[in-house]
Amino acid sequence: MKKIIIDDAVPYIRGVFEPWFEVQYAPGAAIDAAMVRDAAALVIRTRTKCDAALLEGSAVEVITTATIGFDHIDLDWCAAHGIKAFNAPGCNADAVMEYVFAALKVFEKRSLESGRGPLQGATLGVIGVGQVGHRVADMGRKRGFRVLENDPPLQAAGTTRELVGLDTLLRQSDIVTIHIPLWAQNRNFANADFFSKMKPGAIFINASRGGIVDEDALLAHRPQLSGLAIDVWKGEPDINPALLAAADIATPHIAGYSIVGKINGTVASVRRVGEHFGIPELTNFKIEHSYKPCDIDAYDIMADDAALRADPAAFESLRTHYKLRG
């Protein structure tokens, strides 16, 4: 019987693989080379870095991550060594979209209280219009925003979406939200030049990856922003205390943490393993549920903010033990 290692924080997965595999559950950060040496498959989340240090000499054939992002997997190394690696595209896209608009609800309340008026009609700039970004853009239009979209890779591939250049977006947008992957070329994407081009008094939201933003540049530009929401941080779980203090909304990398999003991620991971090993019961795996997408207007984002500020050192446990939104 082949062995599979599973991050013990992946929900709704216990008992699924046991009929076909020897299963070992472990905290994601604790999965190490000795543990995976005789494992045929890994089901992980972002806290397991899959590179040569972990995988060299192992029996691993396939890795599935129950997340949209896969910057924690060295895809080139895996491909060169015959290891298949899969993510779960779009699994938590609705949850991240809901997070963005829950944040905007907070900023609108503050805008109204200060006499600046409602945000509706303001220009929302969405950088990256893939699985998450296009949902943010579409919801923005439904909620009365003028929306600008930027996505050079999508433009190069051909799209019917109306896209604008980055400089145009930054210059005109009252709100800028980023939804791009953490590829090597995107590290410190939002740098000093980026922030210098933003419209004075704009709101900035990052719920993509911490490495996308040059945090020193952001802090230097903070006085020119009217609002700042940060869900993802460089060096997680050891986050920048200055950025925590500067943010109006600060949360522990939980924007995508909804029940439906987690179910989607688990289902995608199980099916990929099933496809690889030719197990129909896993390839056709489903989780029956009656959950509906979270109600944006009911989500209390400031409760998550308060929990992080009360104990920043608990960042990882706040993520691991997070009470999922509906």
Residues designated as active site: 209, 236, 253
CB 174 within 8 A of CB 120: no
The CA angle 227-99-179, to the nearest 5 degrees, is: 80
How many other C-beta atoms are found inside a 10 Å radius of the C-beta of residue 3?
17
The Cα-based distances of 138 to 131, 176, 215, 288 in angstroms read 11, 15, 29, 28
CA atoms of 319 and 136, how far apart (whole Å): 23
Residue 163: CB atoms within 10 Å: 16
Residue in 46, 82, 44, 89 with CA at minimum distance from that of residue 63: 44
- In the 3-class helix/strand/coil scheme, how is 169-186 assigned residue by residue? HHHHCCEEEECCCCCHHH
In the block, residue with structure tokens 């050891």: 238
**Is residue 128 exposed (0-12), middle (13-18) or buried (19+ Cβ within 10 Å)?**
buried
Q: Structure tokens of 96?
A: 């991240």
